[in-house]
Amino acid sequence: MSFEMLSTTQVAMLAPQLEKLYDKSCAGNEIVEDEMTGRDIVELGMSGMAAIFAGFYKNKLTFTLAIQFNMTNGRKGADLIGMAGKKILAFKAQYWGPLLEWLKINGVEFLDAYTDTDRTNMYTKKFGFNKSCDYMRISLQ
């Protein structure tokens, strides 16, 4: 099992596989399903606007996550904009701590994840997120 941050070139090479995984992630999230696709996330990774990480098991792309950086009220933050694949908890057990340390070293003060209600327990219990708000929306279309 291995886990690495992909270069923009690597993202382009793995684009079809990554896009497929991120499409599943987006489709399963009621918050982003109408405004983001797997292609959007891959394009952010290819342009350097998001950090794309890939987990490989037996030399096969198995897991991926994407992080986009931001500034909020003068503080450097990041958003977990996509996470998908198999063996998520195995990758989490081995690589989540080092990933959080990497974010801290790079000056990131907080990591946000917008997820639907069904996934809140996984994010809080398995990944250590704190529930800070409920995201509400009225669709005007």
What does the pLDDT look like over 99-111, one tens digit per residue? 999 999 999 999 9
Kindly report the number of other CB atoms within 10 A of residue 39's CB atom.
Answer: 14
- pLDDT for 12: 98
Which long-range contacts link 7-15 to residues 24+ away (Cβ below 8 Å)?
8/45, 8/46, 8/47, 8/48, 10/54, 11/42, 11/45, 11/46, 11/52, 12/46, 14/54, 14/61, 15/42, 15/46
Domain boundaries, the chain: 2-127
Categorize the per-residue pLDDT at 119 as very low, low, confident or very high, splitting at 50, 70 and 90: confident
Q: Model-level pTM?
A: 0.85
Task: With a cut of 80, say whether residue 139 has pLDDT above it.
Answer: no
- pLDDT for 14: 98
Q: Span 2-127: which CATH code?
A: 3.40.630.30
What does the pLDDT look like over 43-79, one tens digit per residue? 999 999 999 999 999 999 999 999 999 998 999 999 9
Task: With a cut of 90, say whether residue 24 has pLDDT above it.
Answer: no
Nearest-CA neighbor of 115 among 100, 93, 135? 135
